[in-house]
Amino acid sequence: MKLRVLGCSGGIGGDAQTTAMLLDDDILIDAGTGVGNLSMEEMVKIDHIFLTHAHLDHVAFIPFLVDTVGSLRTRPIIIHALQATVDILQKHLFNWHLWPDFTKIPDDRLPYMRYEALSLGNTVDLDGRKITSLPAHHAVPAIGYQLNSGQASLVFTGDTTTNQALWSITNKIENLKYLIIESAFCDEKRDIAIRSKHLCPSLLAEELVKLERPAEIFITHLKPGDAEVTMSEIQRNLAKFNPRQLENNQLFEF
């Protein structure tokens, strides 16, 4: 399996793009503004989108992607998400007011897009690539994902705050190789992190001591204005974990 980071920022501006990652050439993990970095040829190949939650920085480019390539494909793009996330998309985004409902276009028989609801702990097996939903604790219903090639696993927490349930599961993943975890705010904004159910360096430190397996750790969802400060705090206080900042176009092979 190959995972390419298309966007990993908590905001936009310059090179900053919001969360989207391309697994091999046919699966998206979230669909934030980073999807705009794909070529037309790359977009046409996407068959599946796995969403962590319904916030705009993670779903904003689904409408543009489906609108752009829907008529060029022979089968629908499948949106995998919690039923609560599907409900939000149907009510607030693909509702004929903000954007057309592409589960009805061109018709119900063969639409451009369709939903497949996930339950927590579900594993979707796509030609031996196992994608399992993991618990997350955020301001809206949310999940993370384990991406398991069989040889190794990558865990992506999605947006989350303090989350004991995640570690109970992650510590049982024998082939864990990579952990991508968020820290949206610097410690000066710890109160905002707590209220919005994100992590900051001090909260991240409390979480990582719960990790019982070795893994390469990468930090995502940094707010552009505070990214340097936040990473400095993380590297200073969590040096034993050797955390690194996730970067656009970074490639993981596992």
End-to-end CA distance of the chain: 5
Tens of pLDDT, residues 175-203: 999 999 999 999 999 999 999 999 999 99
- Residue 228 included in any domain: yes
Do 7 and 44 lie in one domain? The reply is yes
pLDDT band at 148 (very low <50, low <70, confident <90, very high): very high
CATH number for position 61: 3.60.15.10
Do 15 and 126 lie in one domain? The reply is no
Q: What is the mean pLDDT of the chain?
A: 98
At residue 64, the pLDDT reads 98
Using only C-alpha atoms, the chain has a radius of gyration, in whole angstroms, of 18
pLDDT band at 151 (very low <50, low <70, confident <90, very high): very high
At residue 236, the pLDDT reads 95
Do 213 and 229 lie in one domain? The reply is yes
Looking at 118, 142, 169, the residue that finishes a domain is 118
- Residue 173 included in any domain: yes
Looking at 118, 147, 180, the residue that finishes a domain is 118
- Residue 251 included in any domain: no
Do 164 and 112 lie in one domain? The reply is no
Range of the domain at 30: 1-118
Q: Of 55, 54, 61, 52, nearest to 156 (Cα)?
A: 52
Tens of pLDDT, residues 46-87: 999 999 999 999 999 999 999 999 999 999 999 999 999 999
At residue 118, the pLDDT reads 97
Total-model pTM: 0.98
At residue 8, the pLDDT reads 98
At residue 49, the pLDDT reads 99
Do 108 and 144 lie in one domain? The reply is no
Domain count, the chain: 2
| For range 130-149, the mean pLDDT | 98
| For range 94-123, the mean pLDDT | 97
Do 191 and 137 lie in one domain? The reply is yes
Tens of pLDDT, residues 217-235: 999 999 999 999 999 999 9
How far apart are alpha carbons 10 and 39 in whole angstroms?
A: 23
Looking at 95, 118, 141, the residue that finishes a domain is 118
At residue 16, the pLDDT reads 96
Q: What is the DSSP letter of 13?
A: B
Do 111 and 173 lie in one domain? The reply is no
At residue 152, the pLDDT reads 98
- Residue 189 included in any domain: yes
Do 238 and 127 lie in one domain? The reply is yes
pLDDT band at 9 (very low <50, low <70, confident <90, very high): very high
Question: Collapsing DSSP states into helix, strand and coil, what is residue 174?
Answer: coil
CA atoms within 13 A on the CB side of 7: 30
pLDDT band at 123 (very low <50, low <70, confident <90, very high): very high
At residue 112, the pLDDT reads 98
- Residue 77 included in any domain: yes
At residue 228, the pLDDT reads 97
Residue reference for tokens 């409390």 = 206
Do 129 and 159 lie in one domain? The reply is yes
